[in-house]
Amino acid sequence: MDREKLLQLFRPSRIILPISIGIVAWTLIGYRSLDVNQLLSIDWTWYAGLWLLMALLMMVIRDLAYMYRIKVLTSDALTWKQSFQVIMLWEFASAITPSIVGGSAVAVYIVHKELNNVGKSTAIVMASSLLDELFYVLMVPILYLFISQDELFSIQQDSALQAITHDYGLYLFGFGYLFIVTYSVIILYALFYNPRVIKWTFIKVFSLPFFRKWRTAAAKAGDDLIIASKEIKGKKKRFWAKAGIATFVSWTARFWVVNFLILVPLGVGIPFSDHLLIYGRQLLMWVIMLVSPTPGSAGFAEPAFIIFLGEFTQDGLIALLAIMWRLISYVPYLFIGLVVLSPWIKRVYPKDKPTG
């Protein structure tokens, strides 16, 4: 990827589609669910302002944790300013591409322009992805110790939705969780034990008639694993502990945005068990958003929010909270990415050096 291709990918017009889909989704859910009388009845005490401020603070903590993690994974080769630009562009790439695609391929290139080392860049992005998946793999059974299956999959506000989510949600979640576990095991084995076996398996599987057109891409993925494995092997436990803690903080802060937003119209706290259930429901939502075909899950995330979290506030306000959630946790990255792009381009493509 050269400068022109990167600018084409990050062109300002790319934000039009996700914003348009979001506006349509917000209009529909607002028309169907928003109750103006309930909105006017909110007692805007200082508690409401405090919870909203805390939701915003969680996003700051989330990004700081990601920035710290990229510094750890690069062995402090990046400054805080560079880390900020890398993370914002990474988030921007994820926000303008379908969730099922993600921004990892672009992230490798962004990190490569900072480090000028393809092997390290591939290893860093793969390690980041692995840590994110392991967070999910480990957090689900931990939450199962505190949340029953019926609580997690029962939607109380609508009998039809309750039947669908309880009867089929468990299977969808189980399939998604099994897929993530399988992916994590493969990456763990490849990065720390024998990447060549995984590459050989990829080539054999994608040599079958139905998968043959992806054989070249599979071989490239195998090569990336071999390169990344050489870079990652030998890292000390302290290295992984710091990166793992940063991952936990970033994801927990991401989820707590919702917990604090739900408190805004209430003005008071809720039982700790409800906080755990809200946290758990967001793990379910993440599986749905992971397979969304739209950029940044636009149009999918908002209805999922209403379905899984509607019982924790008044029916007429859940649409407002869903919109606020997206305005805080998604929309800013579209514009911050555009703002950061120009100075980053000028820095990594100096005029006195060839581009590419």
Q: Measure the CA–CA gap between 87 and 81, rounded to whole angstroms.
A: 10
For the residues 265-274, what does the mean pLDDT come to?
83
Positive or negative CA dihedral for 118, 119, 125, 126? positive
Angstrom distance (rounded) from CA 14 to CA 27: 21
Residue 157 contacts residue 310 (beta carbons within 8 Å): yes
State residue 159's pLDDT score.
44
| pLDDT for residue 37 is more than 90 | no
pLDDT in tens, 210-268: 767 767 777 777 787 788 888 888 788 999 999 999 999 999 999 999 999 999 888 77
Q: What is the mean pLDDT of residues 176-194?
A: 86
Least confident of 99-103, 147-151, 342-346: 99-103
Task: Identify the CA nearest to 165 among candidates 280, 256, 315.
Answer: 280
Mean pLDDT over 179-183 rounds to 88
Q: At what angle do helices 237-266 and 318-329 cross, to 10 degrees?
A: 140
Is residue 259 within 8 Å of 151, Cβ to Cβ?
no
**pTM of the entire structure?**
0.87
The pLDDT tens digits of the residues spanning 127-163 come to 998 999 999 999 988 988 888 877 877 765 554 445 4
Q: Give the model's pLDDT for residue 161.
A: 47
Q: What is the pLDDT of residues 279-331, one digit of tens each?
A: 999 988 887 777 778 888 888 888 889 888 888 887 778 889 999 999 999 99
**Helix 301-309 and helix 237-266: axis angle, to 10°?**
70
Give me 315's structure tokens: 């029916």
pLDDT band at 65 (very low <50, low <70, confident <90, very high): very high
Long-range contacts of 187-191 (CB under 8 A, 24+ apart): 187/126, 187/129, 187/130, 187/133, 187/225, 188/130, 190/225, 190/229, 191/123, 191/126, 191/127, 191/130, 191/225, 191/228, 191/229, 191/232, 191/233
pLDDT band at 10 (very low <50, low <70, confident <90, very high): confident
Task: Specify the pLDDT at position 166.
Answer: 53
